[in-house]
């Protein structure tokens, strides 16, 4: 082999190794931090808002202790509702390394920001209460974020019947306490007696609706999808009772932890 051929072979091998290394890095980067900016709701109290684009209502204000946020691109037409993110600001003089874990409950954006946090969540990025006051005075801060698993100890996935529902004419519900970091991409409503299922429509956010719902006890089947394209149907242990009522919550009896 000539010297030029040997050099070409070495260069080709090195390029291939670098390419493969980059593939490994990209594959592992589902856990990598992304740089952005965050602000907070200036006119809110410490918690989130009772009115949000996800349709959570008062649940969206107090879930996760009130460490919640609106999102812009991460809202994903409602698919991102209920997703959890670790958010940490980058100023080492004021910000903790851990930051805060938030739940997406609303849609919104400020100039160049991915998150509009509750005041409580914004403050929890700081090292101390004095540092939190400084962060709040800044209003907008540089951050890093990544998606993480949601965790609701001792809670099963819960079906909350939306207040606008009317038995037996119209059924709308919200899925609450979803753990893990997969998305619910489809929902079916099934008659438990003959197991005929109907694919529901996402009305907005995390509100699923059906006109003229079937009578009798109902089962809600949920399709969980991860970022690798793996889909899994989850069928609750418990049913929605035939005499369901607007505003009531029903424990599904199951939880998804990944």
pLDDT digit string (tens) for the chain, length 258 residues: 554 554 445 444 544 444 444 444 444 577 899 999 999 987 666 777 777 899 998 888 889 999 999 999 999 999 999 999 999 999 999 999 999 999 999 999 777 899 999 999 999 999 999 999 999 999 999 999 999 999 999 999 999 999 999 999 999 999 999 999 999 999 999 998 888 999 999 999 999 999 999 889 999 999 999 988 899 999 999 999 999 999 999 999 999 987
- Determine the 3-state secondary structure of 108 from DSSP: coil
194/144 same-domain check = no
Are 95 and 143 in contact by the 8 Å Cβ rule? The answer is no
Phi, psi (degrees; rounded to nearest 5) at 205: 50, -120
Q: For residues 223 and 233, what is the distance between their CA atoms, to the nearest angstrom?
A: 4
How many CB atoms are located within 10 Å of the residue 246 CB?
15
Together in a domain, 45 and 144: yes
Domains in the chain, number: 2
> Which of 148, 172, 200 corresponds to the end of one domain?
148
Q: What is the pTM of this model?
A: 0.86
Domain-embedded: residue 202: yes
CA angle 122, 126, 129 (to 5 degrees): 100
Which residue matches tokens 């900016």? 37
- Does one domain contain both 50 and 129? yes
- Note whether 182 and 82 are same-domain residues: no
Q: Which residue shows structure tokens 């007696």?
A: 193
Q: What does DSSP assign to residue 237? A: S
Dihedral, 198, 202, 203, 205 alpha carbons, nearest 10: 150
Residue 63's domain comprises 32-148
d(CA 216, CA 199): 17
In a domain, 5, yes or no: no
20 occurs within a structural domain: no
Question: In residues, how long is the chain?
Answer: 258
């Amino acid at each position: 082999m000539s010297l030029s051929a040997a050099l070409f072979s070495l260069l080709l091998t090195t390029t291939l190794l670098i390419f493969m290394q980059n593939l490994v890095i990209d594959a592992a980067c589902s856990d990598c931090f992304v740089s952005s900016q965050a602000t907070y709701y200036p006119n809110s109290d410490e918690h989130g808002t009772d009115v949000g684009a996800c349709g959570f209502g008062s649940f969206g204000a107090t879930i996760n202790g009130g460490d919640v946020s609106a999102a812009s691109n991460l809202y994903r037409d409602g698919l991102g509702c209920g997703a959890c993110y670790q958010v940490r600001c980058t100023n080492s003089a004021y910000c903790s390394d851990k930051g805060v874990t938030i739940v997406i409950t609303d849609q919104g954006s400020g100039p160049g920001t991915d998150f509009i946090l509750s005041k409580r969540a914004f403050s929890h990025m700081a090292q101390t209460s004095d540092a939190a006051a400084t962060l709040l005075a800044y209003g907008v801060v540089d951050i890093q974020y990544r998606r993480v698993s949601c965790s609701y100890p001792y809670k099963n996935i819960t079906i909350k019947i939306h207040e606008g529902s009317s038995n037996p004419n119209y059924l709308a519900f919200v899925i609450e306490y979803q753990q893990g970091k997969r998305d619910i991409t489809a929902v079916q409503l099934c008659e438990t007696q003959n197991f005929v299922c109907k694919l529901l429509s996402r009305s907005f956010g995390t509100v699923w609706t059906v006109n003229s719902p079937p009578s009798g006890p109902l089962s809600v089947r949920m399709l969980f999808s991860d970022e690798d394209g793996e889909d899994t149907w989850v069928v609750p242990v418990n049913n929605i009772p035939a005499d369901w009522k607007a505003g009531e919550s029903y424990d599904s009896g199951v939880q998804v932890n990944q």
